[in-house]
Amino acid sequence: MVLVAQSGCRKDRFLTTPTSLSFSVDTVYFDTVFTRLPGSGLPRSRNLQLIVRNTENKSVKTNIRLAGGTASPFRINIDGMAVNQVSDYEIRANDSVFVFVECILEANNLTNPAIVLDSLLFNTGGREQDVKLAAYGWDAYYYQDSILPCNTTWDKTDKPYVIVNSIAVDENCKLTIKEGVHIYSSSNSKIFILGTLDVQGKKDNEVIFQADRLQQSYQERPGQWRGIHFIRESKDNQIDYAIIKNATIGIQVDSLPINANPNLRISNTIIRNMTNYGIVGLTAKIEAENCLIHGCGFQNFAGFFGGDYDVRHCSFYGSADANNNHIEPVFSINNFLTDGNTIIRTYDVKYILINNIMHGTLENEVTFSFAQSHPPLPSVFEKNLFRVEKPANFNPANNIINVNPLFKNPGARDFSLQNGSLAIDSGITAGVAKDINGKTRDASPDLGAYEF
C-alpha cells in the first residue's frame, strides 16, 4: 500500500512554470518477491518509501501516475486511497511527501527470478520526471491452507515451495522432502504433522525451512512464521540435514509415541533464530544427534511434562542479540505440571545426555526440575560441557562445568572449536560416528556437533 502524507497549512500561490521535484531515490527497488499465488493477492511485498520534495519557495501541483496504469504490478495509495493516478496533487513550499510502494507480481513461468519494471511519473507544470520501479519476481510451488495428498514427495529444486496460511500432513500419511528443497512459509503459517515427516537432506545440500520474506534485512530475523508442529499420534518422523530458522518455535513435539519408535529422530540439523524454543517436547520421545541450536529467546531444547530424551553430540548456545533476548537456559527438562506453586500432576521422565555443549551468557544454562515424589527413571548425564549455578543437590560428575567451550566465532554462527578448547578429546564413544560436517570422530571424540 502507498500512503502519501503532507504537512504544513499555509496558503501559498502556486508555481505554474515547469518545476523539478527532488526524490530520495531514483529507483524504488524491491529485492526478490514471490510471484502471485493464482486466485489470490498473495504473497505481497513489503512497503518501500519514496520521499518527494518541493524545494521551491512556492507550492506546486503535480500529476502522479503509474506508467503501467491499471496493468501495473505496482500499487500506490494517495492519502489513504488506492489509485493508479492523481491530478493536481499539492506539495507546499519547501515541503515533502512520503510515498510507500508495494508490488504483487504475476507468475513468469521461469525457474529463476525475473525483473519486472515500471515507472512512477510526475508532471509538474509541464515538466516530466520519473522514478523507476523494479522488482525481481520468483515463481514457486504454492500450497495454501492445504491438507497434502497422502504420501506426497517434494523433490523439485528448480523453484522453491511456498506455504501460505499453513499445511498439514494427515494421519497415516507421509510427506517426504528430498535434499536441496527450499520451503518458505508466510507469516503466521505452520507445518502440522499428524502423520509422518521424512526430511532427507544431505551435507552441503540441506533442506531449508524459513519465512517468505526474501529481503536481506529479514534473512536472520526470528518470529516470521510458526514452525513445525508434530501433533499427538504423529509417528516415525525423521529430519536429517535441515536448516530451520526464523520461526516462533522451530519444532514442537506433542505426547509420547504411539509405537516403539521416537516421535522424532533429528540429526545433522541447524535450528536458529527462534522467538521462543528451538525444540520443545511435551511428554515426548526425541532423539537428537549432531544438532546445532542457537539464537532462541527461550530454551534451545526443552522437555516439559516428562518424556524420553536422547541427545548426543549437540551444541546449544544462547546470547542476546539485536533480534532476541536470551532469558531462559539453553537446556531444560521437567516432569510436573503446576497450578501456581502447587504440583498437580507428575510424569515419567528419563534422559541420555552425552557429549553435548550447553553454554551461553546466563549464569545457569541447564535446569532439571523433577518432583521429589517422582524422580527420573534411570538416566545418563555424562561428558557434557555446560554452564550452571551449582546447587547443593546437583552433582556434575564426569562432566565439564563453567568452562568456556571456545567456539570459534558465535557472532558469525561458527560453532566449531578453537585450538585449546577443553571440549576437544573429552568425549566418550556414543554411537555417533561422524560430526555434522561428515568428519569421522576418533576414539576420543570432541564434545558438541563439531569434531576439531
- 439, part of any domain: no
For 248-297, the pLDDT digits (tens) are 999 999 999 999 999 999 999 999 999 999 999 999 999 999 999 999 99
Q: Does one domain contain both 145 and 67?
A: no
What pLDDT, on the 0 to 100 scale, is given for residue 148?
97
- 371, part of any domain: yes
For 190-206, the pLDDT digits (tens) are 999 999 999 999 999 99
**Secondary element (H or E) of residue 22:** strand 22-23
Domain limit, last residue, from 137, 157, 180: 137
Q: Does one domain contain both 50 and 162?
A: no
Identify the residue whose cell numbers are 564413544. 429
The answer for 68, left when phi > 0, alpha when psi is -120 to 50, beta otherwise, is alpha
What pLDDT, on the 0 to 100 scale, is given for residue 9?
46
Which residues, given as ranges, of the chain have pLDDT below 50?
A: 1-10
- 442, part of any domain: no
CATH number at residue 118: 2.60.40.10
What pLDDT, on the 0 to 100 scale, is given for residue 276?
97
Q: Does one domain contain both 272 and 220?
A: yes
* Amino acid at site 31: D
Please give the tally of structural domains in the chain. 2
Residue 198: φ, ψ to 5°:
-130, 105
> Among residues 166, 168, 180, 135, which one has the least CA distance to residue 31?
135
Give the structural domain span for 324: 141-417
For 295-312, the pLDDT digits (tens) are 999 999 999 999 999 999
Identify the residue whose cell numbers are 518509501. 49
Alpha-carbon gap, residue 296 to 279, rounded angstroms: 10
- 452, part of any domain: no
What pLDDT, on the 0 to 100 scale, is given for residue 399?
95
Counts for the chain of helices (H) and strands (E), in that order: 0, 40
Contact 423, 357 (CB under 8 A): yes
The residues near 345 (Cβ < 8 Å, ≥ 6 apart) are 305, 336, 337
If you write DSSP's letter for every residue of 424-437 in order, what string do you get?
TT-----S--B-TT
Q: Does one domain contain both 302 and 160?
A: yes
What pLDDT, on the 0 to 100 scale, is given for residue 392?
61
- 430, part of any domain: no
What pLDDT, on the 0 to 100 scale, is given for residue 395?
66
- 445, part of any domain: no
Q: Does one domain contain both 90 and 150?
A: no
What pLDDT, on the 0 to 100 scale, is given for residue 98?
87
By DSSP bridging, strand 342-346 and strand 292-296 are: unpaired
